Amino acid sequence: MRGKVLNQGNFELLKSVEGRLLLLINSSIKKEKFFWNVSGDYEYLIQTEGVKEKSGDTTFEVIRTGHFYLIDIIDDPEYPDLPHLYLQDERNNYEDFILPDGFPDLLDTEQEIITTGNIIDQEELDTFVYNYEIIEKNKYL
């Protein structure tokens, strides 16, 4: 596979006493916070900026930290031309999620996130990003 890194940085995944998830993204582009809601089979991220919190969740515990990549995968046979969010796990592998419409923003405050169940290691991630960069450079030679 080939992909282009759209964003990268560090993340924290927190969980409230009530069970709500909060995803904190800290990248070179900007810092963002999203509530990660699960409703049946549907998961979605909600932009927290400008949103008044009504759930009463005030205490969150960090359950996972690491590096993240947002990569536009060019030739994924299952999910063609959709951005993938890769979150590092405790074994330095990356869990794969699909963001069909990207991260939420102030205009579209809620976006679906799809758990693929795929885990890839750092070497594989580096390989397909590197392959994309070589192909892009060769297009202009």
Kindly report the pTM of this predicted structure. Answer: 0.84
* DSSP 8-state secondary structure symbol assigned to residue 97: E
Buried b / exposed e along 99-109 (16+ C-beta atoms within 10 A): beebbbeeeee
Alpha-carbon distance values, 23 to 62, 63, 78 (Å): 10, 10, 25
Indicate the pLDDT class of residue 34, thresholds 50, 70 and 90. Answer: very high
CA 95/CA 85 separation, integer angstroms: 8
pLDDT recorded at residue 133: 60
Mean pLDDT of 45-71: 80
Indicate the pLDDT class of residue 132, thresholds 50, 70 and 90. Answer: low
Residue 134, pLDDT above cutoff 80: no
Q: Choose among 138, 118, 111, 129: nearest CA to 46.
A: 111
Pairing of strands 31-39, 42-47: antiparallel
Indicate the pLDDT class of residue 8, thresholds 50, 70 and 90. Answer: confident
On average, the pLDDT of the chain sits at: 84
- pLDDT tens-digit readout, 73-127: 877 778 778 899 999 999 999 999 999 999 998 889 999 999 999 999 988 887 7
What SS3 class is residue 112? strand
